[in-house]
Chain A
């Protein structure tokens, strides 16, 4: 797979694509292989989507030689950019495209997560819609699994369809090693050092959701008892899922409060609690 990461298109002078990639605001795009874009199979259906399809394609592949006025040239230029974007969405889910995008991901070309507790984790581009002209590009953070608006208005104007809604998920399917370790840490709103009740109650509820998820995963055999689902699991227990409804409410108040109070003794606490609270 490393072969694919080498610079491609060395045989050709990819004038237009070079220019396109390096122009301001197009930092999210990677360069599409010449051979990919010249394979008509990969362009199936795009001719109905793009005006002046043939001319645009010629422009992208640097064989454009139509003699025309500036307006026409401008229109074709626009079509070429659109076509490039649409091909790009297809290209980046191929093996070669993924490799290129992984490189860009590792270089944080798409920016970093604005969430404080994500510690500037690199982002990936994401199109909410696969149809062009509907949604602009968003950025996906794999650490908090949420989507954010790009900082720059230049990037916010890019059509999301040029990246597609599946790309980043496919990337992590193909490169599972890139999936970051998730964190249980959260921001706690405080007033004069005291946690705010409304936010803290919601946080406790969310924590119970997380424990439910952990229990579901255990039940399904996806993770073992000792699995480290979150990075903090090494240090402290996440608590256990309530055994049943009878215990659940008691659990809401009591045990969790203890756990949060004795963070250090968390592991020990779990050991003592676990036998009496077997999972279903």
Chain B
């Protein structure tokens, strides 16, 4: 397997054979001619033929890929008739007494260089148009027809560069992806790829030796794998299916409400682990973010992240979500998530050890920095704050005191903050058992099913020996969830699930029947679950 990188123009995954696209480019010979008038009329006839071809291409493109993509052929027709271009060709034939092919090729080179030397990327890309019209003329003059338009099987087209007339002539059903060495994000090929929703990479170090080999183009990462190994192929096939599925669902379900036919509605949110995931949340049309794991800020850093860098991260997410809910979980470090600079001791039983809120309430300066950043960011969107690993009412009261202190300080300094909902993770059996009391203290609950299951069943999920007795649907866990929902509702809290069980589609109906208000799942699960909910008998 060989892997190469390019710049991705369109996100998508294509798997197929490579067709190395050979340019119809031939060496144009300089031939002396006696009868320059005859040579000029040969050229004039070729120009007429080129105009006719361009007109046909325009009509074809108009039907297949729309007006925006077709317009290029209109422009080509105008370029071919451009006074300077025409004069230059005639002039070369007459003064140098050479064949029309050579005059066209020389003129084409000169004009395309004029564009190549321009600063602006858009205008630079026009050099390809000049080359394209010149090649068309040379092909007509030398009696060649445009080859390679007919593709026998679906292929990934690999080429140095592709002219718009080349791409339009290709059979659209058989194009899987474009991979080119040259070209720009403004080139017609790039625009075409976007219109056709097929992955495309430019600036790739391509090779003719790929011809006929199996390859995978990953438009998400900008990689092409030539002769991928089995594992890569399998993984990318899976992602391709996911991708196609998501796209189909999106077509059907984008902008639709999360509501059952019987009128039971629910908020379907997404879980994220960093700022860059927001694009995925929006692409999958989630109604909000139900779990923004803030650990990345700490794990990616060499030292405690300061208030400003945290503020910027939270603000960016809040702004990008444009008023939709963003629930940030405060630092949940410890156990399996470690950052060196915290200097945490090795523990015999870290899952039950010094972690999450226990660290925050012990080393309050770390907690204050995060809370202050969150409150400041709340002025820029709809932020909620969620505290992990709660086991007592006392903890919640202490947290609320700190929040009040910070708010007071912000008030005094005239720093704005928004109306922030505060909630807790329900992930310990203790929190479930006192959920009626906890509900009096907070605005919402979010059930962290991963830890709750582990603590309830006393099963370490990392221990593979216990897989056979680990039952994600254990009635004890389901009863805990029901109890949490009932207690929450009785005491004015809304209740969601942000653990993996929330995305378990065999339980979605059960959760809805229990009265769950929100499910927060990986972005890729949002649309499948929306579909399920909208078709549910409830």
**Is chain B found bound to chain A in the same assembly?**
no
